[in-house]
Amino acid sequence: MKFKFQDEKRGKRLVDAIQKNVPDRQLKIVHVCGTHEVTITNNGLRSLLPEQLDIREGPGCPVCVTPTRDLDGAIQLARKNAIIAAFGDMMNVPGTEYSLNDLKSEGADIRLVYSVSEAVEIAQKVSKEVVFLGVGFETTAPMTAAVLVGNPPRNFSILPSNKLIPPAMESLMELPKNNVDGFIAPGHVSTIIGCKPYEPIVDRYQIPIVVGGFEPLDILYSLALIVQQISKDAPKVENGYPRAVNYEGNQRSKDLIEEVFQVSNSIWRGIGELPDSGLTLGPEYHEYNAYTRFDVDPEPGKDVIPNCLCPQVLTARATPDECSLFGTKCTPTSPYGPCMVGEEAMCNIWFRYGGRPQL
Amino acid sequence: MCLAIPGEVLSIEGNFATVNINGVEQEVRLDTLTEEANRGDYLLVHTGFAIKKLSPEEAQETLQLFDELIEINKELDQESEV
Amino acid sequence: MNKNAQDKVKIIHGAGGRAMDQLISDHILNIFTNKSAGKIGLDELDDGATIDGTEGKTVVLTTDSHLVKPLFFPGGDIGRLAVSGTINDLAVMGAKPLALTSSLIIEEGLKLSELDRILSSMEKTCHEAGVPIITGDTKVMEKNDIDKIVINTAGVGITNVPTTDSGLRPGNKVIVTGTIGDHGMALMQYREGLSFKSKLESDIAPLNNLLELAQDSGEITAMKDPTRGGLAAALNEMATKSNLGITLKEKSIPIKEPVLGISELIGISPYNVANEGKAIVVTNAESANNVVNELQKNELGKDARIIGEITEEWPGKVIMETEVGGRRFLDAPLGDPVPRIC
């Protein structure tokens, strides 16, 4: 496999490089991508790193940060007899009272799709309304945009819930005493947006941001670059994934996003409202907004549940094992909070890997 | 959801490429891709759409990047030992 | 918040993972009281049970019901599965299979040509294994009261000393008889929502002859067949029952490239899906290489490898030493990600 990078010899050397440059103090490096957490945990990378280097997942799980309001919205739409098409992970996320799966057991037509184009195909074959639950970050937004500019069927609409990563990274820096020492920026979000959007964060907060790929060696390389920057006290945006990311990003995808969407304030479950952190449909694509089409305006839902540590976990201020419900009242088969649902979610990942990410 | 996997283009028809991703042939849309795709190219695919053209040469360069960083740090090591 | 009814049996209870374990311990083991007829009984939850026989021999008995969907798939069908599954349960207990039963529950409306195809496959598999079906039962249920066909097979075997799944000792080596994840991944293409055609084939095969070779070439301390729940579920069970640790070297685990490929595509690990023509064989350190060499001489064991060893560290847990050199737990999956695969 040409694009696999996981040989042990190089891994050891990269770990040596990290060991060499890492300062004596505690370092908290945050990544914002569920797939990064899977690579890190699945490959046991934390067991290779020096003790003082702590890697955390920030709000990089779209399922976890989708506000209850949008889930409740999807449920209201299903009750209005629309077919709801959503990515698999969204099925079990608890809304205020129900999840999509609960509704499916009651007979609602909820379909698991792997792509927005599948949702369009469903709409082409039926006469009922089909609503695509548009969650995800900048990697997923161009696809929805591409579908909307391509004259989708009249019975197709989307529930717009895409969010933007750089504002979320900023919000973590703004939390008091969060002590984030650097970021690994998400590889495929960066394929779309490029490296430029991270520069204001480096300028303002003077911390390293390295774009990271998804192979084990990619992660070790990104960490080596980060600690190298820290040891030289020379923070900057660095591209650790040049085979898939360039500085300007993917112009065509960016154009599609700009054509269809507009930036708006957005509620992140567990964090709250962040300015200019989400995408909503621009005026020319208004008619594809399911909320408008169905005249549905859900109440802001209950985003934080008692005793659930998701807000702290999502903002890299706590780890799943610090939650009193973790593994007991909250498990993947019977999740209490959103961080236990879906395989991009930190609590879910740790649970499936023995409850702790390192030996 | 960041999951994107490389695949090889087997054929192109308009906005669609037939791509071999890990042994499975999939129809992939090209309208989200900036670069031009041709048969034999490698594409990074996310939820059925191409987001980047990859080259095996660049993939090889990745190894070089890793090795460069390793070398720099080995040199520094040797310098400090002197 | 949790709307799941706690008083009903759920699909995940049949999936071979932790949820099923709980159903078994909380209900079945709790209610049945007369549970054994020999040293290994229901409480041991091994692949089969023993009946104390005469003249130092032990009779081993096992049963399995099969409801795989679809009935026919690349590499196998429900008939081959029904025969192999039960033969393999006997074989991993160290028993020579003597005979099988076959109980068919058929939905009204099933084509006779399909029934014949299933029966022929059972016949072919029995012939390969050299094991007869000596008794059976046939029932028909009304249309829609059952889904096409369910086959139950029970098997009887005989051995001097049964091999359990918990006899491991520190320093033992863990061997797999071939590539991991084939059956489960081959059936993924039928999973709802996934729409790819794959060339993957199931690995269903009767292993009695292969495992007899293994037993003749070394000292076997434990065996298990990693069906539902995959390698991860089986190894975790062995570790828990013996209260020892198992450390695996990921580099050594044989997996076919296409299986790895599908696994990455759909985000399901090959360690968590069923194998129907493979066994885990644990041997003492001295025998391991010889056992592997003998297995590799046989078509069904050509990809046999030593994949790990038994330790005293982390008792009850399975540790994976990853390709890049890291270490992490390999926990049992919560349930089988493929709905009806055996």
Residue A330 forms beta bridges with which residues? A326
Confirm or reject contact between C322 and chain A (CB < 8 A): yes
pLDDT one-digit tens code per residue, A287-324: 999 999 999 999 988 888 889 999 999 999 999 999 99
What is the residue whose two structure tokens read 């016949």?
Answer: C123
How many CB atoms neighbour CB C44 within 10 A?
Answer: 17
Q: Which two tokens stand for residue A318?
A: 């706590």
What pLDDT is stored for residue B58 in this prediction?
Answer: 87
Write down the pLDDT at residue C54: 64
Contact A142 B48 (CB under 8 A): no
Cβ separation of C261 and B22 shorter than 8 Å?
Answer: yes
Taken in order A119, A121, A126, A128, the sign of the CA dihedral is: positive
Q: In angstroms, what CA-CA distances link A61 with A133, A136, A253, C4, C101?
A: 15, 8, 21, 24, 51
| Among C196, C263, C324, the residue to mutate for chain B (most B Cβ within 10 A) | C196
For chain B, which chains pass the contact test of at least 3 CB pairs under 8 Å?
A, C
What is the distance between the alpha carbons of residues A241 and A222, in angstroms, rounded to a whole number?
8
Coil, strand, or helix at residue C101? strand
Domain C173-329: give its CATH architecture: Alpha-Beta Complex (3.90)
Kindly determine whether residue C324 and residue A11, on different chains, have CB atoms separated by under 8 Å: yes
Q: What is d(CA A266, CA C227) in angstroms, rounded to the nearest whole number?
A: 46
Domain residue extents for chain C: 39-159, 173-329
- Contact partners for chain C, using 3 or more CB pairs closer than 8 A, are A, B
**CATH code, domain carrying B19:** 2.30.30.140
> What's the token pair of residue C328?
């992490």
Q: How far is the C-alpha of C202 from the C-alpha of C15, rounded, in Å?
A: 18
* Residue A43 to residue C326, Cβ atoms within 8 A: yes
Query: Is A97 inside any structural domain?
Result: yes
At C257 the three-state DSSP class reads helix
Cα-Cα-Cα-Cα dihedral sign, residues C15, C16, C22, C23: positive
B1 and C CB contact within 8 Å:
no
3-state secondary structure of A73: helix
Q: Does C196 touch chain B (CB under 8 A)?
A: yes
Query: Cβ B24–C197 below 8 Å, yes or no?
Result: yes
| Chain A CB contacts of C12 below 8 Å | 333
Of B65-79, C94-108, C187-201, the poorest mean pLDDT is in C187-201
Helices A251-260 & A141-149 angle (0-180, nearest 10): 70
Cβ contact A194:A251 at 8 Å = no
The predicted structure's pLDDT at residue C255 = 97
Name which of C300, C162, C145, C311 is nearest C235 in CA terms: C311
Residue appearing with tokens 């029934």: C115
Q: Give chain A's mean pLDDT.
A: 94
B32 and A250 in contact by Cβ < 8 A? yes
pLDDT digits (tens, 9 = 90+) for C235-292: 999 999 999 999 999 999 999 998 998 888 888 899 999 999 999 999 999 999 999 9
pLDDT band for C341, please (50, 70, 90 cuts).
Answer: low
A132 lies in some domain: yes
pLDDT at B82 > cutoff 60: no
Q: What integer pLDDT is reported at residue C339 of this predicted model?
A: 53
What order of strands is seen across the sheet that includes strand A27-31? A53-57, A27-31, A182-186, A209-212, A237-239
What is the distance between the alpha carbons of residues A110 and A107, in angstroms, rounded to a whole number?
A: 9
Domain that holds residue A96: 74-163+251-261+275-294
3-state DSSP call for residue B79?
A: helix
**pLDDT tens-digit readout, A151-184:** 999 999 999 999 999 999 999 999 998 999 999 9
Which residue does chain C place closest to A97, by CA atoms? C1
**Residue of chain B minimizing CA distance to C200:** B23
For residue C93, give how far its alpha carbon lies from the nearest alpha carbon of chain A (Å).
29
The pLDDT, as a whole number, for residue C3 is 43
A48 touches chain C (CB under 8 A): yes
Percent of chain A having pLDDT more than 90? 83
Could you say which of B1, B67, B70 has the minimum Cβ distance to residue A34? B1
State yes or no: ipTM above 0.90.
yes
What is the rounded distance in angstroms from the CA atom of residue C312 to the CA atom of residue C321? Answer: 16
- The domain tally of chain A equals 1
- Give the whole-number percent of chain A exceeding pLDDT 70: 100
Question: Of 3.90.700.10, 3.30.930.10, 3.40.50.11540, 3.30.1330.10, which CATH number belongs to C39-159?
Answer: 3.30.1330.10
pLDDT tens readout for residues C151-197: 999 999 999 999 999 999 999 999 999 999 999 999 987 776 566 66
92-131 in A: which are within 8 Å (CB) of C? 94, 98-99, 102, 111-114
Q: What is the mean pLDDT of chain C?
A: 90
pLDDT at A63: 87
pLDDT in tens, A92-149: 888 888 889 889 888 999 998 889 999 999 999 999 999 999 999 999 999 999 999 9
Q: Which of C196, C260, C267 shows the shortest C-beta gap to B24?
A: C196
What per-residue confidence (pLDDT) applies to C1?
37
The two structure tokens encoding residue A181:
């020492």
Residues A216-220, mean pLDDT to the nearest whole number: 97
Contacts of A332 in chain C (CB under 8 A): 334
Please report which confidence band the pLDDT of residue C45 belongs to, taking 50, 70 and 90 as the band edges: confident
Q: Which residue in chain C is spatially nearest to B45 when comparing CA positions?
A: C265
Residue B53: predicted pLDDT: 96
- Distance between CA atoms of residues B9 and A118, nearest Å: 21
Within 8 A of B25 by CB-CB distance, chain C residues are 196-197
Smallest Cα–Cα separation from C262: which of C182, C342, C177? C182
Nearest Cα of chain B lies from the Cα of A113 at a distance, in angstroms, of: 10
DSSP A239: E
Q: What is the CATH number of the domain that holds A108?
A: 3.40.50.11740
Chain C residue nearest residue A100, CA to CA:
C3
Domain span at residue B68 reads 5-81
Q: Do C331 and A354 touch (CB under 8 A)?
A: yes
